[in-house]
């Protein structure tokens, strides 16, 4: 849900998803998979948070939000991925994109030869243009938009959208630091120094 919300995937969830469960270990629950998600990362301010389609993941998500424990779990996952070096923070998201982009750099030429003029010369879904020709320059321009505009601004915009929809608290969570760095692991070693920082005054209770 978080990745589709972040990318504002508007070609989902009426289709382009599947859910699986292990028959050997069914108690481990279900896993949802999204595919064919080319209609994402299009606009910094786009939102699909209001999706609520019958019999689809979005309806299940909305029903689960009635459970406070699930709502807290969802907010915890957002905190993990959108703050302090998480997968959806601007720098990390941009670096991941560039890594994948470099892997397919030359393949884009073949891809543009196959699909670049498809909407104009093969399958016209509109009677008149403009028809976008998906050539290499189109790819480079889009990549420039993602690196210079989308990723630097999307995370903050996404958080604001979640807050407005009551899916994430407006008060920033305290940050747990180990040796001055954000915690990204679940174990520590002897001698590590643990500190907590917050933008607000903390009242700590020790048990």
Q: Where are the domains of the chain?
A: 2-197
Task: Report the predicted TM-score, pTM, of the whole model to 2 decimal places.
Answer: 0.84
**H helices present in 15-170, as ranges:** 57-64, 68-82, 90-103, 107-115, 136-145, 151-164
Query: Model confidence over 82-141: pLDDT tens digits?
Result: 998 899 999 999 999 999 999 999 999 998 888 888 878 888 877 787 888 888 899 999
| Mean per-residue pLDDT, 69-80 | 95
Query: Model confidence over 171-180: pLDDT tens digits?
Result: 877 777 888 7
SS3 167: coil
Residue 189: both structure tokens together: 């070693």
Residue 155: both structure tokens together: 């995370």
């Amino acid at each position: 849900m978080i990745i589709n919300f972040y990318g504002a995937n508007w070609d989902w969830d009426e289709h382009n998803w599947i859910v699986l469960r292990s028959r050997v270990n069914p108690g481990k629950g279900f896993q949802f998979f999204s595919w064919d998600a080319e209609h994402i990362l299009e606009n910094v301010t786009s939102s699909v948070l209001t999706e609520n389609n019958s019999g689809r993941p979005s309806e299940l998500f909305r029903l689960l939000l009635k459970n406070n424990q699930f709502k807290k779990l969802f907010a915890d996952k957002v905190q993990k991925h959108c703050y302090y070096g998480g997968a959806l923070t601007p720098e990390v998201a941009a670096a991941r994109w560039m890594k994948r982009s470099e892997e397919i750099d030359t393949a884009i030429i073949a891809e543009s030869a196959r699909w670049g003029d498809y909407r104009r010369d093969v399958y016209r879904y509109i009677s008149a243009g403009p028809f976008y020709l998906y050539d290499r320059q189109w790819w480079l321009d889009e990549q420039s938009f993602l690196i210079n505009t989308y990723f630097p601004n999307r995370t903050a915009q996404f958080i604001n959208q979640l807050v407005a929809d009551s899916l994430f608290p407006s008060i920033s969570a305290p940050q747990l630091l180990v040796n001055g760095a954000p915690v990204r692991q679940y174990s520590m070693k002897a001698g590590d120094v643990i500190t907590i920082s917050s933008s607000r005054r903390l009242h700590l209770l020790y048990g």
